[in-house]
Amino acid sequence: MREGLELVRNALLEADVSYSVVKDFVDRVGAEAVGEAVLKSLNPSQQLAGVVHRELINLMGPVDHSLHLRGDLTILMLCGLQGSGKTTTCGKLGRMIRERGRKPFLVAADLQRPAAIQQLHVLGEQLGIPVYSEPGTSDPVAVCQNAVKEAKKQGADVVILDTAGRLHVDEALMDELRRIDRRVSPEQVYLVVDGMTGQDAVNSAKAFNEALELDGVVMTKLDGDARGGAALSVKQITGVPIKFIGVGEHLDALEEFHPDRMAGRILGMGDMLSLVEQAQQKVDQEEMARAQAQLEKGEFTLETFRSMMAQTRKMGPLQKIMGLIPGMGAANKMMEGLDAEGDLNRIFGIIDSMTPAERRNPTKLIDQSRRRRIATGAGVEPHEVNDLVKQFDGMASMMKRMNSLGIRERVKMMNELQSGGFLNPGAQLTREKKGTGKRLTPAEKARAKKERERELRRKKRQQRGR
């Protein structure tokens, strides 16, 4: 438990979450996890991972992607440190607003950096959005005021102020920002934060928030490999929602912020490593070892099958697991539109309705009456029980064969199985139910059945041929 918390703490610190935020977080999560673990007496590390993830999402939420645009004229102001990406974000926001059918109006209020005005003009031209600037002036407050008047005249309804980058400790420039805020009183003030920012994120965010009362945060440069821990720090310090994230240099690369994805990113999940961790945490090692031993002895029963499937399932939705395994992309595509989860539920239902003896030797024991009993118990059609038994037969013989093979042959065999008609040629995963929109006549049905049987025989012949 303590080690788990230490790991979490290091992960957060390495992701550049501010120290004080990490400390509070770990203390609280530790207390909560202990409480819950006692209550539910689950595997503590699993418990911890869940609590950490959930808490991170809670901390970075609730989401609010709305720009709170009013009917008449809305003024948005962007501010931030130098090089955080204000001007680019200004262009991206302008594009997004225009897509929503509004009339954006960009204002070049960055009179500090050489050519910042030109940069915004170029962006405006690319997007076909009007840009206001006053060459030769040095008073951004006046520029903003005049810009708002001009925007009204031109019939624009969203004004975006691109202010100069400034250090939060530069009193003169922070005061200038306050003056713009007072004179123009923007509806929404957004802080633009570089996603790669380290421990200093708290200091700057705090200063900007105190000067301006922020309404939102835009986090930029998240298309790289930065873990983006600053998101958590900034949210904690300012309490305002993170609205958008910048994920590329092009003007359409602005996305809505999702706390769950960010939590995963900060913790460094979503890769193979996390799958391994999940597997270690969630799979009961003993049970897996027992199943393995049974398999090696050539004893493959429905019980083994069930426990194996149950273990796999603990790691998460099947499709997600497949997505995490490199090289399984094709299998994942195959599963699109398949009701794999539902299938698994039905299979569990059927196996659970069997007696232990039936599970060990389904082919021999299950006759018509047993089949009907099992089907009723599982709430399925009797033929589905048959399908499962058939499938099991195919699998059992395969498992026996596999045990006599080396690892390379095994992999080869699995590949063949995947590309060919899966384990049992007759067995198919149920598709999610969709109407075909047409009813078949009995004659058509008979023809389709014949067709299917022919296909089945062909596949069987092929298998024997091998």
Partner 1 sequence: MGFFDKFKQGLKKTTQLLNTDIRDLFKREGRLVDEAFLEELFAILIKTDIGVQAGRQIVDQVQSDFRGRVVHLEDVLDTIRKKLKSLLAQTGEPIRWAETKPTVILVAGVNGSGKTTSIAKLAHMLRQQGKSVVLGAADTFRAAAVEQLTIWAGRTGCQIVTGPQGSDPASVAHRAVATAVEQGADVCIVDTAGRLQTQQNLMQELGKIRRVIGKQIPEAPHEVFLVLDATTGQNGISQAKHFSEAVDATGIVLAKLDGTAKGGAVVAIWQAMQLPVKFVGVGEQPEDLIRFDADNFVDALFEGLLGTS
Q: Which residues would be at the binding site for partner 1 (CB under 8 A)?
A: 10, 13-16, 19-20, 23, 81-85, 112-116, 118-123, 126, 167-169, 194, 196-201, 203-204, 220-221, 223-227, 229-230, 249
Q: How far is the CB of 7 from partner 1 (least distance, A)?
A: 11
Taking the least distance from each CB to partner 1, the nearer of 242 and 350 is 242
Taking the least distance from each CB to partner 1, the nearer of 220 and 236 is 220
Q: How far is the CB of 115 from partner 1 (least distance, A)?
A: 4
If phi > 0 it is left, if psi is from -120 to 50 it is alpha, else beta; for residue 142 that is alpha
Q: How far is the CB of 267 from partner 1 (least distance, A)?
A: 14
Q: Alpha helix locations (H) across 239-381?
A: 259-267, 272-282, 285-296, 302-314, 318-324, 329-334, 340-352, 356-360, 362-365, 368-378
Taking the least distance from each CB to partner 1, the nearer of 111 and 184 is 111
DSSP letters, 114-157, are: TTHHHHHHHHHHHHT--EE--TT---HHHHHHHHHHHHHHHT--
Taking the least distance from each CB to partner 1, the nearer of 129 and 378 is 129
Taking the least distance from each CB to partner 1, the nearer of 148 and 160 is 160
Quick check: 369 and 385 in contact, CB under 8 A? no
Q: How far is the CB of 409 from partner 1 (least distance, A)?
A: 37
C-alpha to C-alpha distance for 16 and 22, rounded to whole angstroms: 10
Q: How far is the CB of 118 from partner 1 (least distance, A)?
A: 4
| Strand 74-80, strand 131-132: pairing | unpaired
Nearest to 262 by CA among 295, 281, 235: 235
Nearest to 87 by CA among 66, 112, 59: 112
C-alpha to C-alpha distance for 351 and 389, rounded to whole angstroms: 10
Taking the least distance from each CB to partner 1, the nearer of 224 and 337 is 224
Question: HSE on the CB side for 408, CA within 13 Å?
Answer: 0
Q: How far is the CB of 262 from partner 1 (least distance, A)?
A: 15
Taking the least distance from each CB to partner 1, the nearer of 45 and 119 is 119
Taking the least distance from each CB to partner 1, the nearer of 228 and 259 is 228
Q: What are phi and psi of 399, to 5 degrees?
A: -60, -40
Q: Alpha helix locations (H) across 335-426?
A: 340-352, 356-360, 362-365, 368-378, 382-403, 407-419
Q: How far is the CB of 148 from partner 1 (least distance, A)?
A: 24
Q: How far is the CB of 197 from partner 1 (least distance, A)?
A: 5
**At residue 314, what is the residue type?**
K
If phi > 0 it is left, if psi is from -120 to 50 it is alpha, else beta; for residue 316 that is left
